[in-house]
Amino acid sequence: MAVLDEQSLWGSVLAELELSLSGANFQTWFKGKTSILSINNSLVEIGCATPYNKVWLEERYLGKIKEIIDRITGASNTLVFTVSSQNLQPTRAREKLSESRTVPLFEETASTDIQDSLKAANVNQRYSFANFIVGPANQLAYAAAKAVVDAPFERYNPLLIYGGVGVGKTHLLHATASAVLLRRAGARVFYCSSETFTNEMIEAIQRRQTVDFRAKYRGVDFLLIDDIQFIAGRESTQEEFFHTFNHLYSQGKQLVFSCDRNPNELANLQERLKNRFAGGLTVTIDPPDQELREAILIAKAKEANLNLDPSLGRLLAKNLGPSVRDLEGGILRIMAASRLTGRKVDLSLVQTAIGVKTTQNKRSVANFVEEIAAFFSLSPSEIKSPRRSPICAFPRQVAMYLLRREVGLSFKEIATELGGRDHTTAIYAVNKVETLVEKGGEVADLVEDLRKKLFRC
């Protein structure tokens, strides 16, 4: 091994990792949380700040770290990870917080000095860039939102983020609004849902206060509107929204929106609004994959002071639904079960709390597809067929939803099992059924009846 002290070697490793990882992931797992404790006869002992940190590095980054160390030292090394605070320096002690630096995922949220501004802007302080967990499914949307904060009114105006239910769109809008208020004293920021925009417009018309309504929405520097899909089909709302959009855009103000799908897919949305959205940046957030779900669960457990073993995190990530809300709900159920029963959080409690079916893996996917098809009075070949008629399309979408939510298949696996479709078809189907189930009603009842039939619960 080449002669190189521990601090210099690890500094070189960190420098390379910083270039290849997202800023948030680098801050979360490496910066100020790792060090080399010792180097002895090609045995490199790496210190990690927490057990979570240790497990995550061993499972996700061992190969990458070893490759860098082997290349720098010119030798083949054995890496050992240890939980130790030795040689770890707090990030804030080594680096002064600046406007442009990337915040770590678990960093504390904003100062209390701007509470009044956040409240006036209708911003939920629970959501920040600091606790938004970044992965391949949402990295582009996260980067775009950060770019709007760093350089508003310039490249990405408007910014529109779209994706299914519970994937983090609302989180990013609130985080963007919070970060703007933190960085830009005196900025006029307002966040609302499209439903709020519509209701306030109707109320203003009824009370003959449209001048006040327009002053409120057109007198801001940053306007963020959530769930823009709900203005589709509402002609008067679209008319007012169009003129509000034009006024703010012409004044060089920043616009940020979210939608549950690409606006081009909204049948009752005016073409001129679609054109306005197309003039900016439109980015998507996909449902989180297995690794991102694990990271989110670790973060949520940490926030709740829940000591969750990494193996249980993997079990939860595999068995809970595809959205972040499903993961949050799982953590809450586990905490409630532990507190109400006085039991420690172990495999048995987790299985009880989230309803893991120990027998379901014994049944093949083909069995599930056959039972789902029979429920809708179809054959398996019909549900897998390319036919797009509602009689086949809706049962197929429900099947995709259940295979994702209850069986834990990946989107690619679902697409393969149901006729060899593209995985984006599975993503769309799961998001669509998820939305319908959350709204309740006939579809929610049907899906629940089918779920109980499949899993005998």
Residue numbers belonging to the annotated binding site for ATP: 166, 168-170
**Full 3-state SS string of 241-271:** HHHHHHHHHHCCCEEEEEECCCHHHCCCCCH
- 352 within 8 A of 346, measured Cβ to Cβ: no
Annotated binding site: 166, 168-170
Q: How far apart are CA 377 and CA 132, in angstroms?
A: 43
Nearest CA-CA partner of 320 in 299, 275, 341, 351: 351
- 347 within 8 A of 341, measured Cβ to Cβ: no
Q: How far apart are CA 75 and CA 72, in angstroms?
A: 8
Q: Say which residue the tokens 């406007």 belong to.
A: 99
Q: What 8-state DSSP symbol labels residue 163?
A: E
- 37 within 8 A of 82, measured Cβ to Cβ: yes
Q: Is 175 exposed, middle or buried (0-12, 13-18, 19+ CB in 10 A)?
A: buried
User: How big is the chain, counted in residues?
Assistant: 457
Nearest CA-CA partner of 128 in 204, 63, 179: 179
Cβ-count burial 417-450 (b if 16+ within 10 Å, e if not): bbeebeeebbbbbbbbbbbbbeeeeebeebbeeb
